[in-house]
Structure 1
Amino acid sequence: MPETTPRNDAAAPTLDEVAAAAGVSRSTASRALNGGLRVSPSAQAAVDEAALRLGYVPNRAARSLVTRRTDSIALIIPEPDERLLSDAFIGGTLRGVGDALARTDLQLVLLLSRKNETADRIARYLRGGHVDGAVITSHHEGDELERVVAASSIPAVFVGRPFDAPRELIYTDVDNVAGARLAVEHLVARGRTRIAHIAGPQDMTAGVDRVKGWRDALSDHGLPADALVHAQFTTASGETAAAELLAAHPDVDGIFAASDTIAVGALRALAAAGRSVPGDVAIVGYDDLDAAQASTPPLTTLHNPVVELAATAVEQLLRLIDSEPGDERVTSIVFPPRLVVRGTT
C-alpha cells in the first residue's frame, strides 16, 4: 500500500521516490519541484502531494553542484537609486517580476547601475555565474548591456526593445509606434490640427518609437510635424518642455506626451499659461499608470501593460534557461497598445 504519513526513518526521501509515488518520470518530478515548466497541472498536483506526503525537501546545495544552477535570477535596472523609489514604470516592473517568481522557488537579485559607470561591473557579475539569467529593463543606448548580453552565454530577456537587437536577443514590449499613431488619430478625431509631441529620451527605444509613430500619423493626415520638444520621463521635465513648446508654438491645440509623468507636467504648464484642457489644448499621455487617473482632469492615455511585460519577460527567461538552442517557444513578444479615453480629450 502507498505511504500515507511522512517517513520517520533516518533516510531522507529521494527524488526517485517522489516520482514513483506521484506516478511520473524522474525528469517530470524534477521540473515540477523546480518551477513547474513544461509540467501539466495534474502532474504538478501529483508531485506536490507526493513531496508533502513523503516529507521531501530538495537539497539545493547538492542540486547546484550537479546542475550548475544558482536558483536565482537578476533584475538589472540601469537607473539611479532614486528612480527605483519614484518611478511608476519601475514599480510596475518589480511587481510583474515578483508575480512571475511567486510561482517558483527562485530568488531575485536586484542590480542597479552606479552613476557614470559602464556595464563592466554587471558584465563581470553575470559572467561570474552568480545567477542563472537576467531580466533587463529601463536600458539606454549607451549602457552597453545589449553588447554584454550578445557577447555572453548568459540567458537574458529585455523589457523594452533593445536598440540594435540581433535576432538572438529576446525582449517583451508594447508596440510604441502603433500607440503613438493611436494617440494622434484620437486627437485628429477630436478636431485637433496642430498636434505637438513632447518626446521622451532618445537614448531609449520607447522614446524613439513614439516619435516615429507621431510623425507617421501626422504625415498620413497632411499635418505639420514641427512642434517637437524633448523631455525626460519626469513631471518636472515635462513641465519645462511644455512651457518651451507653448512659447515656440502658441497655436498648438493638441499634445501627445511620451509618458503620463510628462503629460502631468504639461498640464501644469498649460494651467500656468491660462490654457484650458481639453478646451484649448487636448492631451494624450502614455503608460496608464497611477498618474493618469490622479491628474486633473484625468488623463487620456495609452495603456502600457507594464506588469504583464515584466511577468512575460520572466516566463520567457525561465524557458530560455531550460531550453535547447532553437526552441521555438522562446521568442520576443510585442503587445498591442490600447487607448484609454478620459477627461483631457
Structure 2
Amino acid sequence: MASAAGVSRATASRAINGGNRVSPAARTAVETAVRDLGYRPNLAARTLVTRRTDSIAVVVPEPDERVFADPFFARTLSPVNRVLAERDLQLVLLLARPGQDDDRLLRYLGRSHVDGVLVVSHHRSDGLSDRLAALHIHAAFVGRPWTCADKLSFVDTDNVEGGRLAAQALLERGCTRIGTVAGPADMTASLDRLAGWREATAAAGLELDAVAQGDFTEEGGARATAALLESHPDLDGLFVASDLMAAGALKVLAQSGRRVPEDVAVVGYDDLGVAERTSPPLTTVSNPIGELATRATRMLLESVSGGEPATPMRLIVTPTLVHRQSA
C-alpha cells in the first residue's frame, strides 16, 4: 500500500492512524491508495502499537430496569455517543448493579479494553471513585464523585443551589409547612439537593422535620409522599428531588384529595421531559444533563489525547428554575 501511494511505510502508517506529521499531498496519496486497494487496517496490530482501542466505556452502576425507564439516562447517553461519533470512537456501555458487579467491572477496566471511562450515576457503595483513582486510568464523572474529587475530573450541577431554588420558590408562594422527598442517601446529588432545601427552609425559620427518602423512581416518590402525608398532613409545599419521583407524588396528592397547587404546591428537579407531561405540569429545577454529559465527554477525550491522565478538571454548572402550574 505504501508503494502504491509512493510514500514510505512510516508515512503511510502515520496517515492511516491519524498522525499529524504528514503533508497534505502524501495524505491524499495514501487515502487514494487505500480506496483503490480496498485496504483495511489490522486493528489488533494497530492497538499493540498505539495502545489505543478507539473506545470509551460509559459505566452506569444502576439496575438495568432503572436505566431503561428513567429519561435521565437517555438524555445522558445520547450526547456522549454524539461526541464520540464525531471522533470516530465507539461507546461501550457497562451496566453494573451497585455492590454486585464491582470486581468484574474493575477487572475489565484495568485490562485496558477501553481508552477511558465516563461514570454516570455514581453511588457511594460502588467504590468507583477510589478504585478508578487507584488504577490511574483516564476517567471522568458526570456528577461529583464521593471521594477523590481532587484526583478525578468531573462535571456537575450546583445541586445545593438547586435545592435552594426549589425551596425558595415554595417560600415565595407563601408556603409555611414545606416537606421534601429526597433522593437516595448514597448519592452526592441527593445530599446536595437536600442540603440546599434545608438551608433555605431554615433561613425562613421553618421546621426541617418533614423529610422522606425516595429512590429516584416514580414508585419510590409515591411511597415517600404517602409516608410524608401520613406523618405531616399539614404540608402545603413539597420539594421532590427528581421529576420522576414528583410524578408519583402528584398521583398520591390527587388520591388524597389535595389540589395542586391550591392545597400543596410542588417543585421537582431535572426538567428532562417528565415535567411537561404531569398533571398539573411541574415547576422544576433545570438539570442540564445534556450539557454536562457533552462537557464531561470532551473533558475525558482531552485527557486521553494527552497520553498520561491529565491534571483533574472540574466544572460546576448553575441550575435555573422553570416555572409551571404546580407551584
Same fold (TM over 0.5): yes
Residue of structure 1 equivalent to 2:200: 217
The AA in structure 2 aligned to 1:192 is C
Over 3 Å counting, the alpha-carbon distance change for 1:53 and 1:118 in structure 2 is: closer
Matched length: 321
Match of 2:176 among 171, 193, 203: 193
Following TM superposition, the consecutive aligned residue runs of length 4 or more in structure 1 with deviations greater than 6 angstroms are 10-15, 17-20, 45-51
Cα offset, 1:27, TM superposition = 4.7
Report if the CA contact (8 A) 1:253-1:281 is conserved.
yes
Q: Secondary structure at the match of 1:296?
A: coil
For each residue in 1:208-252, what CA deviation from the matched residue of structure 2 results, as whole angstroms up to 9, or x when unmatched? Answer: 111100001112211211111111111111111111111111111
Cα offset, 1:87, TM superposition = 1.2
The AA in structure 1 aligned to 2:94 is L
Over 3 Å counting, the alpha-carbon distance change for 1:262 and 1:52 in structure 2 is: same
Residue of structure 2 equivalent to 1:3: none
Over 3 Å counting, the alpha-carbon distance change for 1:50 and 1:257 in structure 2 is: farther
Instruction: Tell me, in whole angstroms, the C-alpha distance in 2 between the residues paired with 1:201 and 1:207.
Output: 6
Report if the CA contact (8 A) 1:18-1:47 is conserved.
no
Residue of structure 2 equivalent to 1:340: 322
Residue of structure 2 equivalent to 1:242: 225
Instruction: Tell me, in whole angstroms, the C-alpha distance in 2 between the residues paired with 1:50 and 1:98.
Output: 31
Residue of structure 2 equivalent to 1:35: none
1:87-166 to structure 2, matched below 5 A, reads: 87-114=70-97, 116-166=99-149
Instruction: Tell me, in whole angstroms, the C-alpha distance in 2 between the residues paired with 1:50 and 1:197.
Output: 65
Q: Secondary structure at the match of 1:117?
A: coil
Report if the CA contact (8 A) 1:119-1:148 is conserved.
no
Report if the CA contact (8 A) 2:5-2:30 is conserved.
no
Q: Secondary structure at the match of 2:294?
A: helix
Do residues 9 (structure 1) and 4 (structure 2) align? yes
Residue of structure 1 equivalent to 2:20: 28
Cα offset, 1:258, TM superposition = 0.4
For each residue in 1:163-194, what CA deviation from the matched residue of structure 2 results, as whole angstroms up to 9, or x when unmatched? Answer: 12341111111110000101111111111111
Over 3 Å counting, the alpha-carbon distance change for 1:51 and 1:264 in structure 2 is: farther
Residue of structure 1 equivalent to 2:249: 266
Over 3 Å counting, the alpha-carbon distance change for 1:48 and 1:188 in structure 2 is: farther
Task: Tell me the percent identity.
Answer: 46
Q: Secondary structure at the match of 1:186?
A: helix
Q: Secondary structure at the match of 1:201?
A: coil
Instruction: Tell me, in whole angstroms, the C-alpha distance in 2 between the residues paired with 1:326 and 1:76.
Output: 18
Report if the CA contact (8 A) 1:18-1:54 is conserved.
no
The AA in structure 1 aligned to 2:199 is D
Match of 1:296 among 270, 276, 279: 279
Over 3 Å counting, the alpha-carbon distance change for 1:184 and 1:64 in structure 2 is: same
Report if the CA contact (8 A) 2:98-2:125 is conserved.
no
Report if the CA contact (8 A) 1:96-1:306 is conserved.
no
Cα offset, 1:339, TM superposition = 0.7
Instruction: Tell me, in whole angstroms, the C-alpha distance in 2 between the residues paired with 1:146 and 1:245.
Output: 33
For each residue in 1:76-124, what CA deviation from the matched residue of structure 2 results, as whole angstroms up to 9, or x when unmatched? Answer: 1111111221111111111121121121111111111147515211111
Report if the CA contact (8 A) 1:15-1:29 is conserved.
no
Over 3 Å counting, the alpha-carbon distance change for 1:326 and 1:310 in structure 2 is: closer
Provide structure 1 residue ranges, at least 5 long, that are not aligned to the other structure: 1-6, 21-25, 31-42
Over 3 Å counting, the alpha-carbon distance change for 1:184 and 1:8 in structure 2 is: same
Cα offset, 1:202, TM superposition = 0.5
Instruction: Compute the TM-score of the two structures, normalised by the length of structure 2.
Output: 0.89
Residue of structure 2 equivalent to 1:176: 159
The AA in structure 2 aligned to 1:344 is S
The AA in structure 1 aligned to 2:324 is R
Deviation larger for 46-55 or 192-201: 46-55
Cα offset, 1:58, TM superposition = 7.7
The AA in structure 2 aligned to 1:339 is L
Instruction: Tell me, in whole angstroms, the C-alpha distance in 2 between the residues paired with 1:235 and 1:103.
Output: 35
